[in-house]
Each structure stands twice: as structure tokens, then as C-alpha cells.
Amino acid sequence: MTRPSAADLDPERKEAVLAAADRRRAEAVGEAVTFVANLNNNVTTACNTGCLFCNFKDAARRFETDHDGSHDGFTKTPAESRATVRAAVERGVYEVCSVSGLHPAFALNDEHHEVLRGLDSPASEANYTPPERYDTDPGTYVEQMRAMSVDGVHLHSMTPEEAYHARRGTDWSYEAVYRELADAGLNSAPGTAAEILVDEVREVICPGKIGTDGWIEAMEGAMAAGLDATATIMYGHVDNEMHRAMHLKRVRDLQDRTGGITEFVPLSFVHERTPLYRHGVVDGGATDAEDELMIAVSRLFLDNVENIQTSWVKYGDAKALKTLSCGANDFMGTILSEEITKRAGGSFGEFRSFDDYVDLIASVGRIPVERSTDYRRRRRIDPDDGGPFGPTLGPNADGTPLLSKRERAERDGEAATADD
């Protein structure tokens, strides 16, 4: 597989593509830049899947009670998840996003535990080890959904890969699994774990994951169960332009069939501290030009997906702002807690306040708009109102900033020290 090189790009043609995408964005969604008040609550870092682009996981063996030695991973019980979400909801957060490692003790529900325990070799056949073997029992997926579904918060969780884990060893359909999760409080599914939807790439970077067809089947199951979903691409590793185009075509076809994808999220590979980089399979991530083009081509090619998201976590503020003029219109969320990118070597902080968002978006002449997860509720914010600004769309959101003045000062002070 050949990676594109910055030297291969014709700068004039690149600028023409970016300008066309910016025009398309203006026609499709106008000048608003949306963002959401959200919390990341990742339940566990225990995972045996071994994706080579990931440094979020910790080998699940280390979490077993009889294992000697320490690790800096974590597993939260349903009660701990609930406490984390409740505290955020009380501050005004109205979306909780939860994506976790595939803990071998996770099962959909008690019936699933029984099925998995009954296998001849649960560990090798279905990556299952019973919860009593671990220091902390993550509970079932259903229990975690119930726990995080606090006071009308929007629960965005259960990627296609997690849904596969929640039905492994059974012949249950994805639709049935997602229906049970929806009954327990799940509101929408993140279309992450997509990476590149081309099996020759997946076999290199994530051979332990479901294939392209499995990912698409799971997404269709989520939407058949009545859930909205997002879709992603994680690019800039061993993939080339052909793989990215094939991926976009699969997402566009899926959207033509289902209509349930609310946003598309290009995720630039963060290479530091990943096995792909440590083992010399890649020597870096995408170039700035590739990042800009990925956003622009997504806007132009996915003419059936309204919202294209850019990520300050992956790109940093300056490049993320630039991508708002290359086709992006959504600026993700406040992220009260974020583990995944930090552990992979990202260094762009863990939280954006509403004031940060208003300043950043106004600085490029666009209109800050607070949105609900499903984009159906929106509130335009006028920077001239002066702030401080806070969320208003959630059950406990009354416009109060998510962090107090003192907390923000502490955060800014810590950020300055870390940068030094």
C-alpha cells in the first residue's frame, strides 16, 4: 500500500477543492458552527483486541485479581459510571459519550453471561473471562446503559465493535442487541471503530476487529432499532487515497439505505505512542494538506450527510479552525473528560468551555450555535452578549458555565505549566 505524499499534491488544485467544499458547506448548512455540551465517560481500558493504532487499551490480563504488577488502566462499575454522569448532568451537560475497551467480562446481560459460561473454551472461543476473575466487575452492557441514563441525558454509546462484543458467541441480531440497549437508555450509536472500511487495511491495523461487512451490518442494526448514528474515518496510517475514497463510498451508500447518520467525523491518526509507530510500520500521521482535503472531500462526496465534524482534539485549535473553511460545520463538544486521545499522545487539552467555543468560532467570522446531540435543537449565541456562556439545552442546563471561574483558572494554570 502506498501512502500519498505531500509532494504529490498540486497546491492550486488542492485550494480549488477546499474552496468548492467551503461553498458547498455554506449552501448546505450556512454559517453556523455547532457544538454540544458533553462528557466522555469511558468505562474500561481493559481490552485484548490489540489494534495496532491504539494506545487506549491495557491487556485485560493485568486487571485479573491474581495478576502481579500494577497498571494505570481503569474499570468503572455501573455505580461509578452513574456518579460520574450525574455530576456532569448537574453541571448542565446533556450528552454522555461512552466508548470502552472490550473487557472480556463484559456481556450484554445475564442471559449472555450464561451462554458464554457454557462454551467449552470461553476465552479462546469468545474472548470471555468471567467477572469474578477481575478486581472490578464492569457489570453488563445493559447495566452500564441503565446507570449512565441519568435525568434525560442523551446516551451516545455502543460502537459496532462493542455491539459485536455484546453478542459474541450467540446468533442474536444486531438489531435485537441494540433494541435491548435502547430499552436500557441508549439513544444513539457512535460509528467509530470504522477506521478504514477496506479489509486489506483492517487486516494490518486491527486484525482482531470485525470486518467491513460486520461494521455495516451493525450500523444497519442500530438504525433498524430506531437509533441515530454517526460515522467516522480514521486515516493517515497505512491507508492511501483509494482506501479513503472506498470508505466514503461505503458510508454514502449506507446513508442512502438508512438516512440515520447525523454527522461524519474524519479522525486523523495520532501516531505517537501507538504500536504502528513504535514498530516502524508508519513514521507519522497525515500532513496538514491531507487533513484539509479529508474534510473537504468528505463534504463534497457525502452529499447525503448534513454535518461534517472537525476535531480540536486531533488537529489542535489552529488547524481545526482552518478546517471550518474547508467544509466542516460542527466543532464537536466540551468533553469534560477525555482519555482516548490523551493516551495516544495527543496534547490538545481535555475540555473546551462555551466561552472558548464562542471566542474561537467568532474569531473566524462564523456563528456559534449550541446544539443537541441529534442537531434537532439549536441555540444561536451572540458573542456581543459578553458571557460567561453555558449550556441551555439540557435538563439541568440554565446557562451557567460548566466550570466555575476558579475551576477554569485552575485548568488554564495547569495548561500553562504543561506547555512550559
Give the footprint of ligand SF4 on this chain (CB under 6 A). 47, 49-51, 54, 56-57, 101-102, 161, 206
Between residues 208 and 399, which has the closer beta carbon with respect to ligand SF4?
208
Between residues 161 and 180, which has the closer beta carbon with respect to ligand SF4?
161
In whole angstroms, the minimum distance from the beta carbon of 209 to ligand SF4 comes to: 6
Between residues 57 and 299, which has the closer beta carbon with respect to ligand SF4?
57
In whole angstroms, the minimum distance from the beta carbon of 132 to ligand SF4 comes to: 22
In whole angstroms, the minimum distance from the beta carbon of 56 to ligand SF4 comes to: 5
Question: Are the C-beta atoms of 126 and 66 separated by less than 8 Å?
Answer: no
Between residues 103 and 299, which has the closer beta carbon with respect to ligand SF4?
103
Between residues 127 and 325, which has the closer beta carbon with respect to ligand SF4?
127
In whole angstroms, the minimum distance from the beta carbon of 286 to ligand SF4 comes to: 18
The number of angstroms, rounded, from the C-alpha of 296 to the middle of its chain's C-alpha atoms is 20
Question: Are the C-beta atoms of 375 and 262 separated by less than 8 Å?
Answer: yes
In whole angstroms, the minimum distance from the beta carbon of 187 to ligand SF4 comes to: 21
In whole angstroms, the minimum distance from the beta carbon of 274 to ligand SF4 comes to: 10
Residue type, 148: M
Between residues 44 and 353, which has the closer beta carbon with respect to ligand SF4?
44
In whole angstroms, the minimum distance from the beta carbon of 54 to ligand SF4 comes to: 3
Q: How far is CA 76 from CA 7, 41, 104, 165, 328, in A?
A: 47, 9, 14, 18, 34
Question: Are the C-beta atoms of 33 and 329 separated by less than 8 Å?
Answer: yes
Between residues 206 and 335, which has the closer beta carbon with respect to ligand SF4?
206
